[in-house]
Chains A and B, each alone.
Chain A
Amino acid sequence: DAKTTQPNSMESNEEEPVHLPCNHSTISGTDYIHWYRQLPSQGPEYVIHGLTSNVNNRMASLAIAEDRKSSTLILHRATLRDAAVYYCILRDVGGTSYGKLTFGQGTILTVHP
């Protein structure tokens, strides 16, 4: 499985934007870039995913480098509820119908009031 590299931790202030980086230099052409977050004592929550183009949804934006070797999750205005572990994952679909989602260590985001 192609691997991702994320900073162990990041800090932000409430109502400021947060840019969470992810490196995936061995990404293959069939890998989708997924982001999930996990709040304490909860299961992971889907945030966003993309293949080549930048993506926006109600939770966040995903900026994908042109060579696809890195990506950035953007939270436009952090709130205290955004404090979580954020996982950048390459979903390997290949020839299967389901793919595999293999979690790395993730980034612990702390949001200060």
Chain B
Amino acid sequence: DTEVTQTPKHLVMGMTNKKSLKCEQHMGHRAMYWYKQKAKKPPELMFVYSYEKLSINESVPSRFSPECPNSSLLNLHLHALQPEDSALYLCASSRTGRNYGYTFGSGTRLTVV
């Protein structure tokens, strides 16, 4: 298995809703990442997990809450989002160490109404 699987592919949520995005990989990668991508912009790093521990939080608002329950699974919990949070949310994984590329999922298209 050489894929990063993200679910759901599309999500519409109200500003008072709570929802979660899920990311799964079975490549044995011990580093996992969340990125946010607005239309016609490059992806922006949000969080980095290394060995299931949060290593980097790029000053992301607390309405985004990441979780890494095990080495294969990464969640992003969403609460009280704003319409400007509408974007493509990308998950990626990689081996740790210097000499490896990232594998990205195809993303979750989130619309906040």
Q: Which residues of A contact B (CB under 8 A)?
A: 30, 32, 34, 36, 42-46, 49, 51, 87, 93, 96-106
Contact = CB atoms under 8 A, between A and B. Distances in A.
A98 B42 contact: no
A36 B101 CA distance: 9
B106 A42 contact: yes
Contacts, number: 63
Contact of B101 (A34, A51, A93, A100): A34
A107 to B, nearest CB: 11
Given A44-B104, A46-B104, A100-B48, 17 more contacts: A30-B98, A32-B98, A32-B99, A34-B102, A42-B107, A43-B105, A44-B92, A46-B101, A49-B99, A87-B42, A97-B51, A98-B31, A100-B45, A100-B56, A101-B33, A101-B45, A103-B42
B107 A98 contact: no
Interface string B66-100: 00000000000000000000000010101011110
A19 to B, nearest CB: 21
Chain B interface size range: 20 to 34
Contact of B42 (A93, A100, A105): A105
Nearest to A45: B104
B111 interface: no
Contacts of B90: 43-44
Given A30-B98, A93-B98, A98 B50 contact: yes
